[in-house]
């Protein structure tokens, strides 16, 4: 059996390495410590996996923190900062990162219209920029196993609101399969197997 010819990776309605970017917002110690919608250790592990997926498939990454330069907050938590490597951190004071000039410019500079968006909290720092960018024609994909809120109710209400506005709720496994799409694309198969089966699912 043969795969069909590869669809245009820039216009494909599904995520591809050529049409998607990752945006990571506010995975800082205070924010992580305040999460009540899922296990915090699992949350950090999962967002690290999302970053490694983005790097494996060559997606542009935009990273933002809030109130580090003012001295109010500490920077990105260590495991995530290590996975991000040399990705620059754009610090801001706005709760809504889309209202920060540098963050907006960095997202626009990726040239991508499909944004995989990870942020803490779901009910604020994920919700507000998602609503803003979708109003401008961007598509937002939220890996629900890598975001969290201050309560399960707050988290679920925010996910419902972004979904009603047009966001696609997804998962780490789904994003990996969507980017890989075909086992014949052999260059990324080893990364796929490591990230999904070993790191994410914990299979031997």
Token pair, residue 9, equals: 């990776």
Task: Find the helix or strand (DSSP H, E) in which 141 lies.
Answer: strand 139-143
Least confident of 6-10, 55-59, 138-142: 6-10
HSE-CB for 106 with a 13 A CA cutoff: 23
Dihedral-angle region of residue 26 (phi above 0 means left; psi in -120 to 50 means alpha; beta otherwise)? left
Domains annotated on the chain, with CATH: 20-200 (3.40.50.850)
Quickly state the pLDDT bin for 176 (edges 50, 70, 90): very high
Gap between the Cα atoms of 66 and 70, Å rounded: 9
The whole model's pTM is what?
0.96
pLDDT in tens, 156-172: 999 999 999 999 999 99
pLDDT in tens, 28-53: 999 999 999 999 999 999 999 999 99
Quickly state the pLDDT bin for 76 (edges 50, 70, 90): very high
pLDDT in tens, 84-102: 999 999 999 999 999 999 9
- Mean pLDDT taken over the chain: 96
Quickly state the pLDDT bin for 198 (edges 50, 70, 90): confident
Asked if the model's pLDDT at residue 199 lies above 80, the reply is no
Q: What is the mean pLDDT of residues 69-73?
A: 96
Quickly state the pLDDT bin for 201 (edges 50, 70, 90): confident
């Amino acid at each position: 059996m043969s795969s069909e010819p590869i669809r245009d990776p820039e216009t494909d309605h599904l995520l591809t390495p050529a049409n998607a970017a990752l945006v990571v917002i506010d995975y800082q110690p205070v924010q992580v410590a305040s999460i009540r919608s899922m296990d915090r250790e699992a949350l950090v592990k999962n967002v690290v996996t999302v970053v490694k997926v983005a790097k494996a498939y060559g997606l542009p990454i935009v990273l933002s923190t809030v109130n580090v330069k003012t001295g109010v907050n500490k920077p990105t938590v260590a495991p995530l900062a290590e996975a991000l490597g040399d990705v620059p951190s754009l610090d801001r004071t706005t709760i809504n990162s889309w209202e920060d000039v540098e963050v907006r410019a960095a997202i626009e500079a990726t040239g991508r219209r499909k944004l995989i968006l990870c942020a803490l909290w779901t009910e604020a720092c994920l919700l507000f920029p998602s609503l803003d960018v979708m109003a401008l024609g961007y598509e937002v994909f939220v890996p629900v196993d890598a975001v969290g809120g201050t309560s399960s109710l707050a988290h679920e209400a925010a996910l419902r609101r972004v979904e009603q506005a047009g966001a696609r709720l997804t998962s780490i496994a789904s994003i990996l399969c969507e980017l890989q799409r075909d086992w014949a694309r052999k260059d990324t198969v080893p990364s796929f197997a490591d990230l999904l089966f070993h790191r994410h699912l914990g299979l031997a």
